[in-house]
Amino acid sequence: MGEAILTGSDLRKVFDGTVAVDDASFAIGEKTITAIIGPNGAGKTTLFNLITGFLSPDRGDIRFRNKTLNGTPPHEIARRGISRTFQDLRLIRQMSVRDNLRLAYPNQKREAFWRALFGRKGEAEGRVVEATLRLQGFGSLVPLYDELAGNLSYGQQKFLTLACCLAMGAEILLLDEPVAGVHPDMASQILQHMLELKEQGRTIVFIEHDIEAVRRVADQVIVMDEGKVIASGSKDEVLVRKEIIEAYLT
């Protein structure tokens, strides 16, 4: 594993007496792909919510580049370079692909640049948008960027949420079941793009129940059950363990 860029130590979160995350610790290597697996209710999405500031841990510490994230609001965590997708996608379905991307771009230091990029729909601006999408590996969205997001297929919508994460300038991408319910062709496209993003220097953490997808792209695997991290390590180490195979892979 590369140098740890994101860590959690002894994290605990309790809801009305139910322990959702139970003294969980993890270390995510820089420029790697890490899969988090486990049964429903294992605490995987709660862990994502803790990392991204949507929930605060009752105990423990989360650090990004050795700076604590505890108490940091979600928008500030996103500004620091950690972006995520959700199972419910959270696109604005009544807006175009173009405008969903436009809203994702930070509008602070680079405001003038992105206003020039997306502000008008002239021929020159359209060429720049198209070139940008193609450069980032989202060429299949180019013919759709004036289409309403709600008219896209489910797989295309998931691809768009990934594009929005990158539009935010994310260094770390947290993807919640990126290929669940997606047509196999689009799932393959998303997984291939995840590998390409790693090669470009991004760090990816994803929750997934599709073990073949995990085997295809993950470097590291974290296994959770009942809020605990019960195993972690390289894909080749974790996915061959008898107890993991019997509990989660059969």
Contact 34, 198 (CB under 8 A): no
Residue 133 has pLDDT above 70, yes or no: no
Residue 86 within any structural domain of the chain: no
Same domain, 62 and 165: no
Same domain, 202 and 245: yes
Domain end: 170, 192, 211, which one?
A: 170
DSSP string, 187-248: HHHHHHHHHHHHHTT-EEEEE-S-HHHHHHH-SEEEEEETTEEEEEEEHHHHTT-HHHHHHH
Residue 75 within any structural domain of the chain: yes
pTM assigned to the model: 0.84
* Residues of the domain holding 185: 1-81+172-250
Same domain, 184 and 63: yes
Q: Which of 222, 218, 159, 206 is nearest to 45 (CA)?
A: 206
Q: For all residues of the chain together, what is the average pLDDT?
A: 85
- Looking at per-residue pLDDT, the higher value among 34 and 146 belongs to 34
Q: How many residues does the chain have?
A: 250
Same domain, 62 and 14: yes
Contact 45, 37 (CB under 8 A): no
Residue 44 within any structural domain of the chain: yes
Same domain, 192 and 164: no
Domain end: 117, 137, 170, which one?
A: 170
Same domain, 47 and 13: yes
- Which pLDDT score is estimated for 111? 47
- Which pLDDT score is estimated for 3? 78
- Which pLDDT score is estimated for 135? 55
3-class DSSP assignment, residue 149: helix
| Strand order from edge to edge, sheet including 220-225 | 82-84, 172-176, 203-207, 33-37, 220-225, 228-234
Residue 55 has pLDDT above 90, yes or no: yes
- Which pLDDT score is estimated for 250? 57
Residue 123 has pLDDT above 80, yes or no: no
Q: Which of 188, 195, 206 is nearest to 83 (CA)?
A: 206
The 10s digit of each residue's pLDDT in 6-47 is: 999 999 999 999 999 999 999 999 999 999 999 989 999 999
Per-residue pLDDT, averaged over 205-226, amounts to: 94
Residue 74 within any structural domain of the chain: yes
The sign of the torsion formed by the CA atoms of 220, 32, 217, 25 equals positive
Same domain, 19 and 69: yes
CATH code, domain with 57: 3.40.50.300
Same domain, 166 and 181: no
- Which pLDDT score is estimated for 96? 86
Q: How far is CA 180 from CA 11, 177, 210, in A?
A: 27, 5, 7
Same domain, 74 and 187: yes
Share of the chain above pLDDT 70, in %: 84
